[in-house]
Amino acid sequence: MKKSKAEVGKKKIIEKTIDGLSENTKGSMCGYFILVLVYVAACIIVNTLSRSDKVLNISGAILPFSSFAGVLAALNNMCVIFMVVYYKKLGYFTALLALVIQMPVIFLTVINHHTLANIPGLFTDVFTIVAITMLFKNGEGVRRYQERLQEQALTDTLTGLPNRFACTELIENLIKRSEKFAIVFIDLRNFKSINDTMGFNVGNEVLIEIASRWRNVADSELTSTHDFIARLGGDEFALIIRKYHSNEDVLNTIKQYETALGSRLTIDGCDLYITASFGYAKYPSDAKTTDNLFSYADAALASGKKLGSSSNILRFSPDLLKKERIIDIERKLKLALQKDTMYFNLQPQYDINHKLRGFEALARMKDENGNVVSPGDFIPVAEKVGIVDKVDDAVIRKSTEFFGELIKKTGTDITLSVNVSVKHLMKNGFIDELREVLENRDIPANQLEIEITESIMIDSADKALKCIEDIKKMGIKIAIDDFGTGYSSLSYLNNFPADLLKIDKSFIDKMNISDSSKQYVAAIISMGHVMGYSVVSEGVEQQAQVDTLREIGCDYIQGFFWGKPMSAEEAEQLAMEECKLTTV
C-alpha cells in the first residue's frame, strides 16, 4: 500500500530525529571487517586441518591435527552469530553468502579428494543457515517494535511533530558535540481564546494545520539553516536552528516561520487570525546547559508580553533577567503593601561600653510563598518605582506602635531609629504624620530618630534641608546614614542639622587591614565630633573592630558582633533585660 505524503513527511522527521539521537551508536565498520577476516581465515584452516593426517605429540599423548577442526568450526559459527546480531541486515546477508559459497567448495573437496570427511560440514552449514535466519527474523521483529516505541516516545501524537523529549535529546546531543545552535520558543498568541470560544476540536485542527505548515518550512530549502521544529505541548512549539553564520540568519529563519503562519487559517469554514511570539537564546553564547537555554528562551518569550515589546521576535539578553527580576520584586512589593504584610526587624545599637542605646527599625518582606526578600533587593526597586514612601510608612507605623508599647511597659529612654527616603521626607504632610505618630504612640520626640542617607542629602539639598530643620525643631533626632559613601562637602556637612553620623560598613571592614584606613575612620570620628555629631559605626563584626573603635573614640556600635536584626519579641526581651540591669 502506498503511503500518504503526510505519513512520508512524518517518517522523515522521525528518522531525522532518530538519526540525530543515535549518531554515535551505530556498530563500527572496522569490527565488521575483522569478523569477516576471522571467518575467512578460520574456514581455510578448518578445510586444511580436516584433510591433514599429521598428529601432535603432547607428552606421549597423540592428537591428530584434524581434531582441532571442530574448535575452529565453532569459532566460525561465533563470527556468523556476531555478524547477524551486531550488523543486522548487512551481517545476515554476509553470513548467508559465506555459508552458501562453502557448499560447492565442500562438494568439490568430496569429489576431488575421494573423502567423505567433509560431508558433516555440509550439514553444519545448512543448520547454521536455518539458525541465523531465525535469529535475523526475530531480531528484525524486535527492531521494528523498538522503532515503533521510539517513534511513539519521540512524537507528539496530535501533530506528528517531534515532542519535548525529542527536542531535549537533540539539544543535549548538540551540546555534547559542541555544535552551535539557537533554540526558539514559540507561543501562539490568541490560541486560548480559539479553544474557549470554538472548542477543542477546532483548536486541535489549528495546531495540526500550523504544525504542517512549519514542517513544510523545515523540510524545504526556504531557510539557509538546518531547522528542527517540535511541539512542546499546548500551543507551545520549539524550533532548533543549526548551521547559521550570523544572528541575521537566525532572524531570517524565524521570520520564515512567522510568514508561514499566513494572514489567516480557514478551519471549518471560519477564518482565524493567528499570530505567534518567538523568544530565542543561543548556545554557547547565551547559555551552556539545556535547562538554562530553555529558561532563557522562555524568559525572552515572556519578556515580550511583560515588557510590552512591539516586536514578535525577542532575543535573550542578561538585561532581560534584570528587568524581569525588578518586575517580579515590584509585584511582590505591591502585594505586601496591599495586604499589609510588610514587617520590621530591630537591630540594637550600643554605646562603646555595651550599654543599649536603642534600635534601628529595618523593613522586612516575604513573598506569597513565605520566602524572605532582602531589603537590599526591594528597597532599590521601591525607590525606582516610587513606592518607597509606602514602605517607610508601614515600617514607621508598625515599629512606633511597638516602641510606644515598650516605653509604656518599661519606661525605657532608648531611641528608635527609622529609615526615611527622600521622597517620603519631602512629601507634603510628612511633618504632620510624624507629629501624629508621636502623639498617638506616646513617644517622646527625643526618643525617635530619622535616618537619611548621605547621598540623599546631596541630591536634593535645599528642600530636604528645610524638611530636616522642621523635623529637628520638633525635637526628633537626625542621623546621617551610610556616611562616607556620598561626597558631601565639609562646608555643607557643617551646616547640616544632624545629631549623628553613621559610618558605612565598607570603612569598618577595611579599618583593621591597613593603618591608613584606620586613620581615615579616626579622622571621620574626630571631624564628626568637631561638628557636634555623635558617631555610630555600622557593620561591626569582630572584637578587634570594637577595640579599634574604642581606641579612636567612636561613640556607638551597630553590627552583627553585638546584635543582629531581631524580631520585635526578641527586641522587647533585650530591652527588658537592659532595664533590669540599669535599675539593679
Contact residues toward ligand C2E (CB under 6 A) are 347, 362-363, 374-376, 379, 388, 391-392, 395, 419, 421, 451, 481-482, 538-541, 558-560, 565
User: Which residues within the stretch 368-427 sit at the binding site for Mg ion (CB under 5 A)?
Assistant: 419
Task: State which residue, 209 or 360, has the beta carbon closest to Mg ion.
Answer: 360
**Binding residue for Mg ion, selected from 125, 156, 392, 482, defined by CB under 5 A:** 482
Closer to ligand C2E by CB, 320 or 342: give it.
342
DSSP-based helix, strand, coil % in the chain, nearest 5: 60, 20, 25
* Closest CB to Mg ion among residues 76, 447: 447
Could you tell me which stretch among 147-155, 214-222, 435-443, 444-452 binds Mg ion (CB under 5 A)? 444-452
CB of 274 to ligand C2E, least distance (A): 47
C-alpha dihedral, 253 to 254 to 255 to 257, nearest 10°: 100
Q: Which of the listed partners (Mg ion, ligand C2E, none) does 47 bind, with a CB threshold of 5 to 8 Å by partner kind?
A: none
3-state SS, residue 162: strand
As given in the structure block, the three cell numbers for residue 266 are 480557514
Q: Select from 337-345, 379-387, 459-467, 537-545 the region that touches Mg ion (CB under 5 A).
A: 537-545
Q: Output 225 or 417, the one with its CB closest to ligand C2E.
A: 417
Q: Answer yes or no whether residue 481 interacts with Mg ion by CB under 5 A.
A: yes
In the complex, minimum distance from the CB of residue 453 to ligand C2E, in angstroms, rounded to a whole number = 6
Does residue 454 bind Mg ion (CB under 5 A)?
no
Residue 363 binds which entry of Mg ion, ligand C2E, none, CB below 5-8 Å type-dependent = ligand C2E
Smallest separation (angstroms) from Mg ion to the CB of 558: 8
Q: State which H helix or E strand residue 20 sits in.
A: helix 5-21
SS3 174: helix
Count, residues near Mg ion per rule CB under 5 A: 5
Nearest residue (CB) to Mg ion, 336 versus 508: 508
Binding partner selected for residue 563 from Mg ion, ligand C2E, none, CB under the kind-specific 5 to 8 Å limit? none
Residue 403 corresponds to which cell in the numbers above? 516602641
- The entry of ligand C2E, Mg ion, none near residue 235 (CB within 5 to 8 angstroms by kind) is none
* Whole-number Å distance between alpha carbons of 174 and 20: 9
Cα–Cα distance for residue pair 421/450, rounded to 1 Å: 10
Sign of CA dihedral 236, 241, 247, 251: negative
| Residue 539 binding: pick among ligand C2E, Mg ion, none (C-beta 5-8 Å cut-off by kind) | ligand C2E
Bridge partner list, 162: 155
For the purposes of burial, counting CB atoms within 10 Å of the CB of 37, is it exposed (0-12), middle (13-18) or buried (19 or more)? Answer: exposed
Closer residue to ligand C2E in complex, CB, 338/491: 338
For the chain, counts of helices (H) and of strands (E):
21, 18
Q: Which lies closer to Mg ion via its Cβ, residue 187 or residue 449? A: 449
121 binds, among ligand C2E, Mg ion, none (CB under 5 to 8 A by kind): none
Q: Which of 451, 454, 555, 572 binds Mg ion (CB under 5 A)?
A: 451
**Using CA atoms, how far apart are residues 204 and 543, in angstroms rounded to an integer?**
70
Residue 217, contacted partner among ligand C2E, Mg ion, none, CB below 5-8 A by kind? none
Instruction: Select 227 or 538, whichever has its Cβ closest to ligand C2E.
Output: 538
**How many whole angstroms separate alpha carbon 571 and alpha carbon 315?**
50
The burial of 158, by beta-carbon neighbours within 10 Å (0-12 exposed, 13-18 middle, 19 or more buried), is given as middle
Nearest distance, CB of residue 17 and ligand C2E, angstroms: 51
In the DSSP assignment, the letter for residue 566 is B
**Rounded alpha-carbon distances, angstroms, from residue 352 to 432, 501, 508, 521, 555:** 35, 15, 15, 16, 6
Residues that bind Mg ion (CB under 5 A): 419, 451, 481-482, 538
